[in-house]
A and B are shown apart, each in its own frame.
Chain A
Amino acid sequence: AQKITQTQPGMFVQEKEAVTLDCTYDTSDPSYGLFWYKQPSSGEMIFLIYQGSYDQQNATEGRYSLNFQKARKSANLVISASQLGDSAMYFCAMREGGDYKLSFGAGTTVTVRA
């Protein structure tokens, strides 16, 4: 079974608008962490934001925020005020308690239009 599901292969967004990238996860472990990474066309993986399973509040980092709905097992990334430089592939990943590895989703390509 897939641990991380990202159902949107590609999205277009107008510059300065917000975009929400969906991520659902599957785990029976009560302790887990959820991460979002950005992969521009140059290929590197850039860490964006983290949400822990016990965190009471949704994580925010600048223009990035995470809409964490624990009962639904979803951790959607919201990018506000999109910029052309936000055009990239975005990966959701999970680390379960006791594991070292990150399990990644298939990714969502975001294209920001001027």
Chain B
Amino acid sequence: EPEVTQTPSHQVTQMGQEVILRCVPISNHLYFYWYRQILGQKVEFLVSFYNNEISEKSEIFDDQFSVERPDGSNFTLKIRSTKLEDSAMYFCASSGVAGGLTDTQYFGPGTRLTVL
């Protein structure tokens, strides 16, 4: 069964450093998302991406964040200068061809980011 994959599973970085989180969405999906979950809290939407551009973003997704689809398979989230409060589990998700309300978003296993 196709699945979303994410690398690395755990990333430790120093405050102020740049990190890139990588995701490989399900191959025939066209819509891609990043969410984050701070430990013990609810899952929060960051950004959605379709047709090589951002389709929606939250207030959390400020200038420190960027997304890219550098090739036909990868989808990345970059945090330019990490802060302590960026420590969280970051989930990539993808959904299918219609983009409609019924499209289920399938999540990857997550990358746990720890900022020291």
Contacts and interface: CB of A to CB of B under 8 A. Distances in A.
Interface residues of B, number: 27
Given A44-B108, A100-B55, A50 B42 contact: no
Contacts of A25: none
A43 interface: yes
B75 interface: no
Max chain B C-beta neighbours (<10 A), residue from A32, A37, A46, A95: A95
A52 B98 CA distance: 15
A101 B33 CA distance: 8
B42 A107 contact: yes
A34 B31 CA distance: 18
Contacts of A103: 45
Interface in A44-84: 44-47, 50, 52-53
Interface in A12-35: 31-33, 35
Contact of A43 (B31, B48, B89): B89
B43 A52 contact: no
A103 B44 CA distance: 7
A54 to B, nearest CB: 9
A77 to B, nearest CB: 15
8 contacts: A33-B102, A43-B110, A44-B107, A44-B109, A47-B107, A101-B33, A102-B33, A107-B42
Interface of B: 31, 33, 35, 41-45, 48, 50, 55-56, 58, 89, 91, 93, 99, 101-102, 104-110, 112
Given A33-B102, A104-B42, 16 more contacts: A33-B101, A42-B109, A43-B109, A43-B110, A43-B112, A44-B107, A44-B108, A44-B110, A45-B43, A45-B91, A47-B104, A97-B101, A100-B56, A104-B44, A106-B41, A107-B42
